[in-house]
């Protein structure tokens, strides 16, 4: 099992020190990843920093210290979002921003979130060491409660900043201890009133870019350190209930059954074949199912299942939703099974503008990296900001595609490469 000290040793073990150049210091990135890993370090070698917890706050306070040492003007809003601002040559212009989060899922990894924050901060460190003053103001942002493990939600800080929270629903939430959202805020050191004041003017920011581990294997299979996110998928969750007739498993002939589970099983197999009919980036998953009466010797009378349908484009995502529902209805009709369908959520995907992808591709090529486009199936803070302003994401190679797990790993070489790419990309977006 890895310890915090082993974590640092492993990071530095195969680091190519030649990557520490142009003001970027890989050893500094490693030590900061290490210092953050110690906060909420679990017995299994993972990270446990729930949103609005003392651990998340401690991690933010540590990064705020580094921000101030780097010369940033630091403040925190009522939602716990942290902003480190560096003034540019023309401070009347909207800021370019980059960052991520420092909270984690229970027993998660040490790169998901912190890498994006430290990469953005390292860009500032590099500018400071090379006496570079950017053309426009730049902000390093730490968003609160991205993972959502506290309230089974997520992206709380970025939604508060963008003014996209439904407060009537938010205040009804209770955390894993049974504490209300309002109580948790007060224990964290803020209030609901201050939380509501976290909304920023949309014209404060011109552009946001987030560095994040891939959480998949595409870069690893292509043997590439970083890649270009071409869109952030928006999920649609649908509840489907198949209702047949429960009966005795021994006394009911096979040709006289209304088995809800057989219908559901046929549907689940069909779902696997549908995404390829719509888009190469679409996916559909049945990840949760309840069987009733759920007895060994009872024919299932009712099955409730949930389908998660995603794509980076709204049109193709919605086409897939229709295909899934048509398939469910057709199977139910064929097997004389009743069906009830209820949509639980539908979130707009966020495609990344092609001209922004092209600019990032140019940066990769200058670094000798083949540009590869990758859809993000997971949600990110960039998705929330991307509904209102241009955004980009840089994915960094994940070992074995593992994420939200103590085994989550990204080499220091790849982490530092992502900083070099981020720095040059930000400068190009500033027009430098």
Closest CA to 393 of 384, 403, 406: 384
Q: Are the beta carbons of 231 and 375 closer than 8 angstroms?
A: yes
User: What CATH number does residue 209 fall under?
Assistant: 3.40.630.10
Domain count, the chain: 2
Average pLDDT value for residue range 226-246: 95
Q: In whole angstroms, what is the distance from residue 268 CA to residue 287 CA?
A: 10
Looking at the fold, whether 113 and 220 belong to one and the same domain comes out as yes
Q: Are the beta carbons of 115 and 418 closer than 8 angstroms?
A: yes
Residues 117, 123, 128, 134: what is their CA dihedral angle, to the nearest 10 degrees?
Answer: -120
Closest CA to 121 of 226, 199, 206, 35: 35
Q: Is the pLDDT of residue 5 over 90?
A: no
Q: Is the pLDDT of residue 377 over 90?
A: no
Looking at the fold, whether 33 and 174 belong to one and the same domain comes out as yes
Structure tokens at 229: 């996110």
Q: Are the beta carbons of 299 and 247 closer than 8 angstroms?
A: yes
Considering only residues 372 and 234, tell me which one the structure prediction assigns the higher pLDDT. 372
Average pLDDT value for residue range 100-109: 95
For residue 240, the model assigns a pLDDT of: 98
pLDDT band at 24 (very low <50, low <70, confident <90, very high): very high
pLDDT digits (tens, 9 = 90+) for 239-256: 999 999 999 999 999 999
Looking at the fold, whether 184 and 194 belong to one and the same domain comes out as yes
Q: Tokens 């590099």 sit at which residue? A: 126
User: Domain boundary residue among 310, 327, 346?
Assistant: 346
Structure tokens at 304: 């409730």
Structure tokens at 93: 């212009």
Looking at the fold, whether 296 and 356 belong to one and the same domain comes out as no
For residue 401, the model assigns a pLDDT of: 93
pLDDT digits (tens, 9 = 90+) for 50-96: 999 999 999 999 999 999 999 999 999 999 999 999 999 999 999 99
User: What CATH number does residue 245 fall under?
Assistant: 3.30.70.360
Q: In whole angstroms, what is the distance from residue 371 CA to residue 227 CA?
A: 6
Structure tokens at 36: 């953050």
Q: Is the pLDDT of residue 149 over 90?
A: no
pLDDT digits (tens, 9 = 90+) for 264-283: 999 999 999 999 999 999 99
Looking at the fold, whether 374 and 319 belong to one and the same domain comes out as no
User: Domain boundary residue among 317, 346, 375?
Assistant: 346
Looking at the fold, whether 11 and 133 belong to one and the same domain comes out as yes
Average pLDDT value for residue range 317-321: 97
Q: Are the beta carbons of 83 and 76 closer than 8 angstroms?
A: yes
For residue 139, the model assigns a pLDDT of: 98
Helix (H, G, I), strand (E, B), or coil: what is residue 210?
strand
The tally of CA atoms less than 13 A away on the side-chain side of residue 208 is 26
Q: Is the pLDDT of residue 27 over 80?
A: yes
Cα separations in angstroms, 232 against 92, 162, 189, 229, 286: 31, 17, 32, 7, 20
Looking at the fold, whether 131 and 266 belong to one and the same domain comes out as no
Q: Are the beta carbons of 80 and 144 closer than 8 angstroms?
A: yes
Looking at the fold, whether 95 and 169 belong to one and the same domain comes out as yes
pLDDT band at 365 (very low <50, low <70, confident <90, very high): very high
For residue 4, the model assigns a pLDDT of: 77
**What is the reported pTM?**
0.88
Average pLDDT value for residue range 165-181: 91
Q: Tokens 């955390």 sit at which residue? A: 175
Structure tokens at 32: 């900061």
For residue 202, the model assigns a pLDDT of: 84
Looking at the fold, whether 219 and 316 belong to one and the same domain comes out as no
For residue 414, the model assigns a pLDDT of: 98
For residue 169, the model assigns a pLDDT of: 87
pLDDT digits (tens, 9 = 90+) for 176-213: 889 999 999 999 999 999 999 999 998 999 999 999 99
Looking at the fold, whether 76 and 149 belong to one and the same domain comes out as yes
Beta strands in 204-262 (DSSP E): 205-213, 226-232, 234-243, 247-248
| Mean pLDDT over each residue of the chain, to the nearest integer | 95
For residue 1, the model assigns a pLDDT of: 60
Q: In whole angstroms, what is the distance from residue 390 CA to residue 96 CA?
A: 10
Average pLDDT value for residue range 299-314: 95
Average pLDDT value for residue range 6-16: 95
> What is the percent of the chain with per-residue pLDDT over 90, rounded to a whole number?
91
Closest CA to 263 of 332, 353, 185, 216: 332
Query: What domain range includes position 255?
Result: 234-346
């Amino acid at each position: 099992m890895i310890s915090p000290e082993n974590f640092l040793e492993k990071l530095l073990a195969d680091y190519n020190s030649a990557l520490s150049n142009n003001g970027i210091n890989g050893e500094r990135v490693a030590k900061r990843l290490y210092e953050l890993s110690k906060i909420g370090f679990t017995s299994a070698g993972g990270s446990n920093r729930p949103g609005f917890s003392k651990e998340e706050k401690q991690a933010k306070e540590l990064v705020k210290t580094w921000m101030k040492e780097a010369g940033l003007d630091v403040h925190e809003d009522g939602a716990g979002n942290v902003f480190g601002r560096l003034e540019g040559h023309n401070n009347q212009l909207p800021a370019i921003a980059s960052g991520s989060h420092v909270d984690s899922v229970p027993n998660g990894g040490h790169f998901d979130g912190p890498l994006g924050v430290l990469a953005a901060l390292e860009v500032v460190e590099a500018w400071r060491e090379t006496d570079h003053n950017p053309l426009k103001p730049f902000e390093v942002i730490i968003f609160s409660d991205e993972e959502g493990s506290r309230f089974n939600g997520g992206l709380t800080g970025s939604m508060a900043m963008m003014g996209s929270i439904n407060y009537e629903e938010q205040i009804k939430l209770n955390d894993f201890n049974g504490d209300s959202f309002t109580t948790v805020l007060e224990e964290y050191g803020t209030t609901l009133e201050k939380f509501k004041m976290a909304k920023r003017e949309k014209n404060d920011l011109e552009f946001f870019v987030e560095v994040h581990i891939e959480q998949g294997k595409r870069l690893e299979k292509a043997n590439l350190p970083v890649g270009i996110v071409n869109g952030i998928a928006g999920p649609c969750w649908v509840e489907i209930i198949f209702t047949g007739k429960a009966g005795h498993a021994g006394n009911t002939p096979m040709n006289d059954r209304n088995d809800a589970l057989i219908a559901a099983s046929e549907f689940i197999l069909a779902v696997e074949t549908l995404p390829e009919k719509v888009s190469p980036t679409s996916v559909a998953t049945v990840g949760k199912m309840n069987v009733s009466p759920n007895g060994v010797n009872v024919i299932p009378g009712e099955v409730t299942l949930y389908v998660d349908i995603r794509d980076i484009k709204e049109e193709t995502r919605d086409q897939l939703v229709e295909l899934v529902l048509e398939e469910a209805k057709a199977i139910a009709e064929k097997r004389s099974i009743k069906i009830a369908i209820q949509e639980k959520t539908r979130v707009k995907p966020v495609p990344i503008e092609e001209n922004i992808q092209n600019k990032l591709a140019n940066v990769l090529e200058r670094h000798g990296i083949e540009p590869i486009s990758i859809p993000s199936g997971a949600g990110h803070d960039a998705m929330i900001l991307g509904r209102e302003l241009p955004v980009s994401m840089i994915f960094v190679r994940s070992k074995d595609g593992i994420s939200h797990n103590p085994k989550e790993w990204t080499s220091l070489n790849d982490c530092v490469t992502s900083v070099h790419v981020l720095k040059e990309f930000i400068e190009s977006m500033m027009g430098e």
